[in-house]
Amino acid sequence: MRRLAVLTLLVVAVPVTAEPNAAERGEKALTTTAFIPAFWTPRAVDSAWKQWGVAAKPADYDAALRDRYGLHPAPYPNDGLPMGLRKARHLFGTGVGADCMMCHGGSVMGTSYVGLGNASLDIQGLFEDLARADGIAKTLPFTFSQVRGTNEADGFGVYLLGFRNPDLSMKPSWTNLGLRDDTCADVPAWWLLKKKRTMYATGATDSRSVRSLMQFMMHPLNGPADFTKHELAFRDVQAYLLSLTPPKYPFPIDAAKADAGRAVFAEHCARCHGTYGATPTYPNRIVPLAEIGTDPVRHRSVNEAYAAAYTASWFGKEPAGWFVDGKLLRWTPGYQAPPLDGVWATAPYLHNGSVPTLAGVLNSKARPNLFTRSFRTGVDDYDRDQVGWKVTELAAPPGADVPPVERRKVYDTTRSGRSNAGHTFGDDLTDAERRAVIEYLKTL
Ligand code: HEC
Ligand code: HEC
């Protein structure tokens, strides 16, 4: 008996001592490495409240800081910092920087998930306030975000590549590769990547690309050697992203209704979004702009100058021939229909986050046009009826006297890049059919 127990112990112990696999190494790299130097001193985080117009430091400061900027508790050890911020080397010792999870670490039902897009983040306020808290009053070099929960991630790539030679050494002057501030990106969930052959909203990049994941490393203090040094780690990071799975819908699902929804989905949606279950299929369809009809700005935001510079650079020197035209970044006719796994958790919807609920995705006439929300992620903030975030519709856009931090909480679909038009494929369904499809979507 005793011997058996010892044997069992040994068997159980094996996986612990075994070499970690690529995904495990990737998770560790992603949650422990500072791939870019710090932006701020630790003091900046402690004194950010002085930018909030309050008389004293709020009592539960960690929670107040997260709430103010839309950050979430880290579900891994992170030196007491919220997910997305990270200890990193600074010109003057150790400071605080940002990492992938600032945008790619989200929360729903009050639970943090690595890989869920952060739909609460006020990246503009965060960067402005922390710089000011460090005594640097400069405005940001370009707009990081116009609306809370969305960001100008494409602008980051365009802006930063403008400083680089093809080998990623710094250029003496900046080239404008078509920077704009209205692409209004809603961050996609990482767990969808495993199904995709192409990635990003327009499907412009081969999803096997590892170097594309490293664009965020173009901090001015990172030179060519830093990129080559971390490429292997990013291969592991990619393996980790490919291992992620979506959280399950946490409330009861009406099985009969969901079953009816499966049939409607098969008829009206599957040709673009694929099928689910034991043997899933995913067609990886890129739907022409004229057919999808959603906001066109993101589609035209990556122009030829940027594509040429990117292709000529280190980023574009991964195995050739991945795309028919031999490029790693290519023009596509529209937007990629994403897989819908875990879609209940990824509100707001469409590439620009212009539709707060699934009910709105399925009925273009019922979408709110001017709205705000709490940007919190608790059970009370989640709309179980419409499936997505609860919003408050507004009668008029904020006036000129409203401070920027409050303006960014308002989504105005009449602004450039923020249209909520298009994707009308659910409009002709009956209310009962739409309800059934939504019930089915909860099961994915
Ligand atoms: C400033 C916010 C931000 C940061 C920081 C950021 N990303 Fe992203 N990421 C985005 C946005 C927004 C998109 C969608 C862009 C688009 O398609 O237009 C995206 C897209 C992606 C995609 C493609 C997903 C898909 O299915 O199309 C991957 C993979 C990815 N990011 C990985 C990373 C990694 C790894 C890091 C850190 C090294 C990182 N990102 C840092 C905002 C960010
Ligand atoms: C002709 C192809 C096509 C059909 C048919 C179609 N969709 Fe889509 N769907 C897309 C594309 C493309 C997008 C991305 C559009 C964008 O972001 O601008 C999308 C986006 C979505 C999204 C938002 C995903 C996200 O994370 O933002 C949901 C949900 C969705 N579709 C559900 C459905 C359902 C349900 C049906 C059937 C009633 C359906 N779609 C029919 C192409 C299609």
> What's this model's pTM, rounded to 2 decimal places?
0.94
How many angstroms does the Cα of residue 386 sit away from the middle of ligand 2? 16
Tokens of 356: 């707060």
Counting ligands in written order, the one closest to the CA of 271 is 2
Strands 334-336 and 286-288: antiparallel
Whether 270 lines ligand 2, by a CB cut-off of 6 Å, is no
Distance 240 CA to ligand 2 centre (A): 26
Among 56, 77, 58, smallest CA distance to 66 is for 58
pLDDT at site 317: 87
Cα dihedral sign, 286-328-295-443: positive
| Atom in ligand 1 nearest the alpha carbon of residue 183 | 18
Test site for ligand 1: of 216, 282, 315, 350, most ligand atoms within 8 A of the Cβ: 216
The CA 13 to ligand 1 mean position distance, Å, reads: 37
pLDDT digits (tens, 9 = 90+) for 237-265: 999 999 999 999 999 999 999 999 999 99
Protein residue closest via CA to atom 38 of ligand 1 = 100
CA of 101 to the centre of ligand 1 (A): 9
Helical segments of 254-317, H only: 255-268, 270-273, 289-292, 297-301, 304-312
Residue ranges, the chain, pLDDT below 70: 1-18, 320-327
**Residue 344: its pLDDT value, please?**
98
Question: Measured in angstroms, how far is the CA atom of residue 187 from the centroid of ligand 1?
Answer: 7
- Kindly report, residue by residue over 347-380, the tens digit of the pLDDT: 999 999 999 999 999 999 999 999 999 999 999 9
Q: Tell me, what's the pLDDT at 9?
A: 45
**pLDDT tens by residue, 186-209:** 999 999 999 999 999 999 999 999
Residue with CA nearest ligand 1 atom 2:
103
